[in-house]
Amino acid sequence: MSGRADGLGEEIMSLAADMLCLDMRFLVQSVISLDVDVVPGSGRPVIGNGRVTFFEESVIADYRECNNLPARQLAHCAFHLLLGHSGDEVSDAVSLAEDIVVEYVLDSLDTPHTAIPGRDERMYACERSFKRAKAPVPLLMEGHISSLREWERGSYDSMFRRDDPAFRAPADDGRWAEMAQQAMAETEGFIRKTGEGSNALLSVLRIRNRRRYDYRGFLRKFMSRGTAVGEDPSEFDPIYYTYGLSTYGNMPLVDSLESSERRMLKEFVIAVDTSGSTMRESVETFLEETFSALMLSCDGKGSRLHVIQCDDMVRRDDVVGSKEDISELMSGFKLEGGGGTDFRPVFRYVDELIENGDLKNLKGLMYFTDGLGTYPERRPRYDAVFVFCDDRCRSHEVPPWAMKLEVTTAELRGFGGTP
């Protein structure tokens, strides 16, 4: 703790930091590594690079109004950093949503030195907001917050803002992400003792700590690995490595082909779940990214890509073999279907294509879906990966023979942005 004003403000903030560590043990590391400055003047605290600047006049006035307020503000700022509310500029609505998420966690924890009046009103507004967005994810809350009427927006501002929204912390260099991992581990132990209050904290930490995928990198590897498997498997990611070997072990057809021939045949199946819940925009992004990865991984000659649309039955199968075919398919792409979700018809259909000789060297099948469906009981003869596009960051179970990728729309586009 350092600062230019040696006085009451400094003393209050030092006490606040102590109280915070006493209240929330999982936050100790974050509070210790945070530089808290108190400077003359008034205003809301400003979050910078691992540093929060408080203004003395406001600190004293806030403390007089409510003894817990400075600790609450400090906790609020520490949580922004811990939850990765930093880096690229965001809209005013997203920044307000970040404040709502932070305040919700603090109100849920409701610890002795951070509790402040107005909790019920804030909790009500938070829950309403999360319900609309379906998850406490700031980007998903943007729409709802933007649509609030002016007076409502104003009352949200005064309920949830604690720091100065004109300033945003620079991108995390990994330090805070690591502390978030640690906080989650500690909270998981702590929750058994304290129960419910920590559930909110754990759910936002889970979202923060979710593994991010480099979707393009995954595609590149998934599509190109066929030619090299068996020669140098060590260059592959463990998920393909452990999975790929067992699959290819059951595929004498592939193993008996010369590698030059294998390179010539580029067969791939992309299945799109067109049941009611699938979002059109994410399907388009998925197809665009997948096609461009495919184009990069092969020279386009002799490649055959099946694009199968299926809800609870196969609705359509487009075979594309060139860049031109792909652009044509994209320009007139309509989602066919809208029924329930069943993954089995696609696998049955693809098995038939193999039996008929339409597919001679299928490299893999990628199933794009956002929901629950029925999986085939038996392992297919080719690699299958289920790509779940779910901006709500829920996790999905797949059978042991399948690979899964859980991505957000932003990750599909290669942004890998903060949810």
Residue ranges binding Zn ion (CB under 5 A):
99, 163
Least distance CB 141 / Zn ion (angstroms): 14
Q: CB nearer to Zn ion: give 163 or 383.
A: 163
Q: CB nearer to Zn ion: give 208 or 363.
A: 208
The answer to whether the beta carbons of residues 117 and 199 sit under 8 Å apart is: no
**Residue 183 main-chain phi, psi, to 5 deg:** -60, -35
Least distance CB 102 / Zn ion (angstroms): 6
Strand 314-320 vs strand 303-310: parallel, antiparallel, or unpaired? antiparallel
Residue 211: beta bridge partners? Answer: none
Q: CB nearer to Zn ion: give 104 or 291.
A: 104
Place of tokens 């929060």: 52
Instruction: Select from 54, 414, 361 the least CA-distant residue to 219.
Output: 414
Q: CB nearer to Zn ion: give 163 or 267.
A: 163
Q: CB nearer to Zn ion: give 162 or 306.
A: 162
**Residue 135 main-chain phi, psi, to 5 deg:** -165, 155
Terminal-to-terminal C-alpha distance of the chain: 32
The answer to whether the beta carbons of residues 408 and 419 sit under 8 Å apart is: yes
Least distance CB 360 / Zn ion (angstroms): 58
Distance CA 83, CA 77 (A): 10
Q: CB nearer to Zn ion: give 37 or 99.
A: 99
Least distance CB 101 / Zn ion (angstroms): 9
Sheet holding 303-310, edge to edge: 314-320, 303-310, 266-273, 362-369, 384-389, 403-407
Least distance CB 148 / Zn ion (angstroms): 17
Least distance CB 21 / Zn ion (angstroms): 20
